[in-house]
Amino acid sequence: MTKLSDSSAYPAALTVDDTAILYVVDNPATTPASKAVAIGDVLKHGMAHGMISVNDNSSGTTLVADAWTKVAVFNAEFGSSKGVTVSHANDKITLTGSGVYRVSYAMSVYDADATDIFARPYLDGAAVPHGQSAAKIAAGKAISLSCEALVDTGGSTAEYVELYVKCSGTSIIITDAQLLVQQVAV
C-alpha cells in the first residue's frame, strides 16, 4: 500500500499515517474534502460479541425424551466481550443492543445408547428459525453438531440467547460446547 503525502490539493491540517483510512470526496468544482479516520474507530461500530463455552466436560445432562432442554453445562466465558453480557453461570448471552446478530454454536456430544439428537439456539425463550442441526449418535460414540443463524432483535434490547438440545434418549454428555454471538448489523 502506498502512503499518501499531504499535497496542495489536500488541506494542510490533514495528517495521514499508517493507522488511518483516508476518505476523499472529489468534487471538481471545489477543493476536495478529506478526513483521516483511525482503523480502530471503523472496527468499533457494530461489533458486539461474546462467547460462553465448556471444555472436557464429563458430567451427564439429563433430558426428557423428545423435549427441548436448555444446555446448562457452560463453565467459562471467552476472554473479551463487547456490547453483550455473557454469563456461563446462567448459560446465556444477553444482547444489550438492538440489531442483527450471528449466533453460532458447536458441540461434541457422547451417548452410551444410540439416539437422534437435535440442537438449536433460542432467543428470549423461543426457537430461532433455521438454526437447528441434527445427527444420529451410534451407541458408545460421540458426534459433533454446529450451526449458524441470524437473529434480529427488532429494536429490542436485553434479549438473551441460549442453546437447547433434544434427543430420543434421556441422558447425554456434552463434552465440549461453544455458544457465540456477533453483531453484524445495527
For 27, other C-beta atoms within 10 Å of its C-beta total 8
User: Over 70: is that where the pLDDT of 28 sits?
Assistant: no
Report the pLDDT value the prediction gives residue 19, as an integer from 0 to 100.
52
* Annotation: CATH topology of 47-185: Jelly Rolls (2.60.120)
Domain parsing of the chain, residue ranges: 13-45, 47-185
Mean pLDDT estimate for the chain: 83
Which pLDDT band holds residue 10 (cuts at 50, 70, 90)?
Answer: very low
| Distance between CA atoms of residues 176 and 85, nearest Å | 21
| Distance between CA atoms of residues 100 and 153, nearest Å | 6
Q: What pLDDT, in 10s, does the model give residues 66-104?
A: 999 999 999 999 878 999 999 999 999 999 888 899 999
Q: What pLDDT, in 10s, does the model give residues 40-76?
A: 444 455 489 999 999 999 999 999 999 999 999 999 9
* Pairwise pLDDT comparison (122 vs 16), residue with the higher score: 122
Q: Is the dihedral of CA 75, 137, 66, 179 positive or negative?
A: positive
**Cβ contact 142:172 at 8 Å:** no
Q: How many CA atoms lie within 13 A of 102 on its CB side?
A: 9
